[in-house]
Amino acid sequence: MNFDISEEQELLQETLKQYVENECPPTRIRELFDSGEGWDPTFWKGLVEMGVAGLVVPEEHGGAGLELLDLALAAESLAYGGAPGPFFGHSLACLAISLGGSDAQKAKWLPGLATGEALGSVALGEAGGAWQPEQWEVSGDGSVSGSKICVPHAGRADVIVVGVAGPGLVLVERVASGVEVQPFEGVDRVRPLDTVVFEGAACEALPEGAAAAPRLRDAGLVLLAADAFGSATRLVDMCVEYAKNREQFGVTIGHFQALKHQLSSMALEIEPSRGLYWYAAHAFDHILDESERSAAIAKAHITDRAMQISRDAVEAHGGIGFTWECDVQLWFKRAMFDRAFLGQPSVHRERSAQLAGW
């Protein structure tokens, strides 16, 4: 019995945290926020060199061949640092092809995705809250037609894994004709989203796409939970730091018990949920019959906690907390992304209730 991460996994987390802290401190995140770029090629290149782009790509295709838990731990660390860029969508594209692709598709795409030469993304959502595979209406028999919303970094992606009715998942190259990318004014400016309109765009179905689609959704839920965990812990740390420095009434504000208790409650809300996303990630690869439900529980619980903590964090900073200047907003918005993407908590609570046979 070992409900803990390994030394290598701790090292992975530490290394990534350090990297983001050094290469993309809040001042830099803010520049990206303000420029609307949401993309820092040098920063992403560094991640790629560390092997982050191919963490879950099988070794025979040039990746590290790791598991969802490793990917989720990376997501937590990147979120803690507030890292910009396409890690989320790219990682899901790698997973989709690994899970559902033919040998030829894997050989064609995975090596490039693992080395970062190619960028991948996933188009899952459809208007009206249709995030779940069984709700997808965009057609993908032979060619793709219809609109997909909230596609991460679609404008830069080389290949997009598109969720469709029927075959489940298909591959579309962004440069194919009949693919139109319309930028979407997203709240989290370091993880920009686009709407992608397909009109008879050429596609290639993943042979195991129908089975891989819900798995891909579950992996997405776990990564969002991990991201929200990283964001929420960062916000708690920021508030504690602020409370140790900001003075009012002649003492640092951390002396005031009301505030101390607010900060304790925030920590109490998030810290115990670490194991939720660990377990869901572990289950994805090792306890298949609990994978779907544990992913739903982790996403619903942690992204909800992160939302409340992000609101509390603004209050704990006073007036400055409400400003564009204050770093709180960077993680506040990250938490909003994590909560809404792939469906808000209530959606996954109802799913987990059904899966439990309630």
Partner 1 sequence: MDLSYGKEYDEFRAQVRSFLEENWPPQGGASRDDGGRQFRQAAIERGYLYRNIPKRYGGSEQEADSIAAQIIREEFGAKHAPMEIRAIGMMMLVPTLLERAEEWQKEKFVRPTVMGEITWCQGYSEPGSGSDLASLQTRGVLEGDEWVINGQKIWTTSAMEADWMFCLVRTEPDVPKHAGISYLLIPMKQPGIEVRPLKQMNGTAEFNEVFFTDARTPADHIVGQRGEGWLVSRTTLKHERNSIAAAAQAAATFQGLVQFARDTKRGGRPVIEDPLVREQLAILEGYVCAHEYSGLRQFTKDAKGESPGIISMMNKLHSTNIGSMVAKASLEIMGEDGLMDPVQTGLAKLGVIPSGSQAWLNQYMYSLGIAVAGGTANIQRNVIGERGLGLPRDHYANRSSGK
Q: Which residues bind partner 1 (CB under 8 A)?
A: 1-5, 69, 240, 243-244, 251-252, 254-255, 257, 260-261, 263-265, 267-268, 271-276, 278-279, 282, 286-287, 294, 297, 300-301, 304, 346, 349-350, 352-353, 356, 358
| One-letter identity of residue 97 | I
**At its nearest, how many Å lie between partner 1 and the CB of residue 231?**
17
Tokens matching residue 257: 């018990």
**At its nearest, how many Å lie between partner 1 and the CB of residue 245?**
12
For residues 79 and 230, is the Cβ–Cβ distance under 8 A?
yes
Give whichever of 175 and 258 is closer to partner 1, judged by the CB atom. 258
Per-residue b or e along 55-83, where b marks 16 or more CB atoms closer than 10 Å to that residue's CB: bbbbeebbbbbbbbbbbbbbbbbbbbbbb
Give whichever of 45 and 244 is closer to partner 1, judged by the CB atom. 244
Among 120, 33, 122, which residue's Cα sits nearest to residue 83? 33
**At its nearest, how many Å lie between partner 1 and the CB of residue 353?**
5
Give whichever of 11 and 127 is closer to partner 1, judged by the CB atom. 11
Give the C-alpha separation, 312 to 303, whole Å: 14
Helix, coil or strand: residue 187: coil
Give the C-alpha separation, 149 to 340, whole Å: 12
Give whichever of 57 and 276 is closer to partner 1, judged by the CB atom. 276
Give whichever of 205 and 236 is closer to partner 1, judged by the CB atom. 236
Give the C-alpha separation, 20 to 82, whole Å: 8
Give whichever of 45 and 261 is closer to partner 1, judged by the CB atom. 261
Could you count the other beta carbons within 10 Å of the beta carbon of residue 357?
5
**At its nearest, how many Å lie between partner 1 and the CB of residue 159?**
31
**DSSP-assigned letter for residue 25:** -
**At its nearest, how many Å lie between partner 1 and the CB of residue 322?**
23
Give whichever of 162 and 276 is closer to partner 1, judged by the CB atom. 276
**At its nearest, how many Å lie between partner 1 and the CB of residue 29?**
24
**DSSP-assigned letter for residue 256:** S
Give the C-alpha separation, 144 to 206, whole Å: 13
Among 69, 116, 33, which residue's Cα sits nearest to residue 286? 69
**At its nearest, how many Å lie between partner 1 and the CB of residue 213?**
23
**At its nearest, how many Å lie between partner 1 and the CB of residue 334?**
20
Among 79, 320, 66, which residue's Cα sits nearest to residue 190? 79
Give whichever of 149 and 253 is closer to partner 1, judged by the CB atom. 253
